[in-house]
């Protein structure tokens, strides 16, 4: 059954719990300032601060971003070796590290800047907590840690029609392809 993580910008309070939980769950070391600036240490889920509006009228929002597991993922098409693939059953876009050559074609293809490269130069990213869920947990670590319920993990088929349309619109925007999200 295909499942995905949904993010509600109106509920996010920017507490960074999801970012920390993701790092703990996936054994990712904390950034130094230098690594954060040059984006050279892997981070699978990132919280970003976004300011909007004019002077005197600013509002601040937060976006918690990780791999979108696009239905028609540009990274999968761009990958020259077949290291990246999308599992139709689960909806996961996964990387097979033994096939990755670190060429960064996926980085040039991803509209969200998701692909990360470790010290081994191989690509790594969110796998929707594959190990954690196989161990019997109900939700990915980021979702479980979210105190504001801004992140939600659910079955794509159980979403309301309205939500599906909204999600699909995002993906179409992201991948520029009407085959996204299977509509």
Q: How far is the CB of 3 from other proteins (least distance, A)?
A: 19
Contact residue for other proteins among 39, 155, 158, 182 (CB under 8 A): 39
Stretch that binds other proteins, among 2-10, 21-29, 89-97, 130-138 (CB under 8 A): 2-10
Q: Under the criterion CB under 8 A, does residue 108 sit at the interface with other proteins?
A: yes
CA-CA distance, 144 to 135, in Å (whole number)?
15
Our separate counts of H helices and E strands in the chain read 7, 8
Q: For residue 70, how many C-alpha atoms fall within 13 Å in the half-sphere facing its CB?
A: 25
Binding to other proteins, residues 44-103 (CB under 8 A): 48-52, 61, 63, 65, 74, 77-82, 99, 101-103
Q: What is the CB neighbour count within 10 angstroms for residue 77? A: 13
Residue span 116-155 as binding mask against other proteins, x where in contact by CB under 8 A, dash where not: ----------------------------------------
From the number of C-beta atoms within 10 Å of its C-beta (0-12, 13-18, 19+), residue 107 rates as middle
Nearest residue to 153 via CA among 141, 164, 143, 168: 143
Q: Applying CB under 8 A, which residues contact other proteins? A: 7, 9-10, 37-40, 48-52, 61, 63, 65, 74, 77-82, 99, 101-113, 115, 165-166, 169-170, 173-174, 176, 179
């Amino acid at each position: 059954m295909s499942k995905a993580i949904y993010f509600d910008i109106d509920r996010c309070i920017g507490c960074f719990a999801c970012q920390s939980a993701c790092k703990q769950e996936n054994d990712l070391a904390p950034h130094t300032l230098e690594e954060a600036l040059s984006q050279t240490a892997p981070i699978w889920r990132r919280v970003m601060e976004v300011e909007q509006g004019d002077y005197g009228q600013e509002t601040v929002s937060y976006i918690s971003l990780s791999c979108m597991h696009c239905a028609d993922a540009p990274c999968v098409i761009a990958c020259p070796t077949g290291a990246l693939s999308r599992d139709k059953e689960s909806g996961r876009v996964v990387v097979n590290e033994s096939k990755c050559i670190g060429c960064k074609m996926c980085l040039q293809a991803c509209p969200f800047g998701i692909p990360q490269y470790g010290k081994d130069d191989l690509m790594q990213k969110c796998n929707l907590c594959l190990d954690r869920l196989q161990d019997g947990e109900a939700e990915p670590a980021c979702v479980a840690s979210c105190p504001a319920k801004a992140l939600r993990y659910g079955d794509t088929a159980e979403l309301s029609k309205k939500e599906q349309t909204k999600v699909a619109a995002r993906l179409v925007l992201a991948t520029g392809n009407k085959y996204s999200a299977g509509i």
